Structures are given as structure tokens and as C-alpha cells.
């Protein structure tokens, strides 16, 4: 049985595009059945439409509360009974009730080496702190902002003269490589969360997740 993926996004959809590419080449162990955006102008919706993937627009500005928005979002997601919900630049903080409903089926990618720099402005914060490396982390979503168990992490050296935009561009390149890998691990049953510890192939992962190494 083909495993189903729902993608949530708010913007241009570059991480979604990397997942779509992996899906088309059979690297995901599943298919992207639905793409949902909270913003009508999100570029990711056009990518999905061009690929003949079903889309849904749930504009958060039409809702008085986060709870009401999340309730409708959950209803649309449930209509396709997905095996995994992938947050690909989804710029909404999800309510605890939503996260609990889909616990263990929510993956996110965050542009920092978690637990460093949860939240926004991660690249500038790394530069301001004089760090030697920045990066990205794929993690499961819990009620704690950017605090769920980490699956995989990629480190990117900070170069002399880096700006936040230059650094962000290099980090985005590794995001496009580690996110499909983590999604595939989940869909192929290689990940398991037991008593707060995340296992891959029955071996406990470090708190920061597996360290990604670029293909040689």
C-alpha cells in the first residue's frame, strides 16, 4: 500500500519541490497526495498544481482564532488519512490539540543546529554569536517550539564575510538533501519513538539526530 504524505507550506515551496523530486524518482517510499497552504499567493501551490497534486487553501486570515484554523486544517488533513504530515516552510505555530492529534506523524525542518536557535532569525543569530557552523535539523513536531526529537542534522561552515542571506542559501541546499532522507526513513519504518528516545533501525539516535554527511 502506498504511503500518503500531506505537505503544509506558506511560501515558495523549495523544500516541497525537493520532496516532489524525490517522490517522482521513487526515493520517498510514498506519494504526496495533498498540499495545503495558509497563504493564497504561496508559490508552492503552483508547483503542486503543475504536478497534478491536489491542493487546498486554508487562509488563516479568515479565522478569528488559532483553534478554529487548526480545527479546519485537521479536518482537511484527515480527509486523506496521511501516514505523514510534512511542514515545508509552514509559517504557523500549531496548537497543542493539533499536534496531539497527529503526534508521531508531523515532521518539520528548522534552519539551525537545534537545540540552538529555535524560532526565527536563526542565521543572523548564529552570525552574531560568532559560531563556526550553522545548519539545519529535521525533527518531529511536539508542543514545544522546534523542540521535538531530532532525526537528522546537517552542519554548514560559516565563512568569513558571510551575511545571513549567503548563509541561508547554503543551508537551503543541504535542507533539500536531508528532508527527503528523513521523510523516507519515517515512511519506510526505520524510525521509532519510545519513551522519549528516537530510534533509527533500533539504534537510539543522539539528541541532535544523525549527523548528515555529504555524498562523496
Is 110 a catalytic site residue? Answer: yes
Query: Which of 60, 110, 139, 176 is labelled catalytic?
Result: 110
Please count the residues of the chain. Answer: 216
Q: Do residues 6 and 85 make contact, with C-beta atoms less than 8 angstroms apart? A: yes
Q: Which residues are catalytic?
A: 110
Amino acid at each position: 500500500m502506498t504511503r500518503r504524505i500531506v505537505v503544509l507550506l506558506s511560501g515558495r515551496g523549495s523544500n516541497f519541490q525537493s520532496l516532489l523530486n524525490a517522490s517522482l524518482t521513487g526515493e520517498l517510499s510514498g506519494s504526496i497526495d495533498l498540499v495545503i497552504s495558509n497563504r493564497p499567493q504561496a508559490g508552492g501551490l503552483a508547483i503542486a498544481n503543475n504536478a497534478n497534486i491536489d491542493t487546498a487553501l486554508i487562509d488563516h486570515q479568515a479565522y478569528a482564532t488559532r483553534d478554529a484554523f487548526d480545527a479546519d486544517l485537521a479536518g482537511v488533513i484527515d480527509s486523506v488519512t496521511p501516514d505523514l504530515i510534512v511542514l515545508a516552510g509552514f509559517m504557523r505555530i500549531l496548537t497543542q490539540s493539533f499536534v496531539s492529534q497527529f503526534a508521531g506523524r508531523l515532521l518539520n525542518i528548522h534552519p539551525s543546529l537545534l537545540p540552538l536557535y529555535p524560532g526565527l532569525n536563526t542565521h543572523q543569530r548564529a552570525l552574531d554569536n560568532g559560531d563556526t557552523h550553522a545548519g539545519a535539523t529535521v525533527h518531529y513536531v511536539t508542543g514545544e517550539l522546534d523542540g521535538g526529537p531530532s532525526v537528522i542534522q546537517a552542519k554548514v561552515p560559516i565563512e568569513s564575510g558571510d551575511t545571513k542571506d549567503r548563509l541561508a542559501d547554503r543551508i537551503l541546499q543541504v535542507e533539500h538533501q536531508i528532508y527527503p532522507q528523513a521523510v523516507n526513513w519515517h515512511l519506510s519504518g526505520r524510525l521509532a519513538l519510545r519513551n522519549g528516545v528516537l530510534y533509527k533501525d533500533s539504534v537510539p539516535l543522539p539528541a541532535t539526530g544523525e549527523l548528515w554527511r555529504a555524498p562523496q
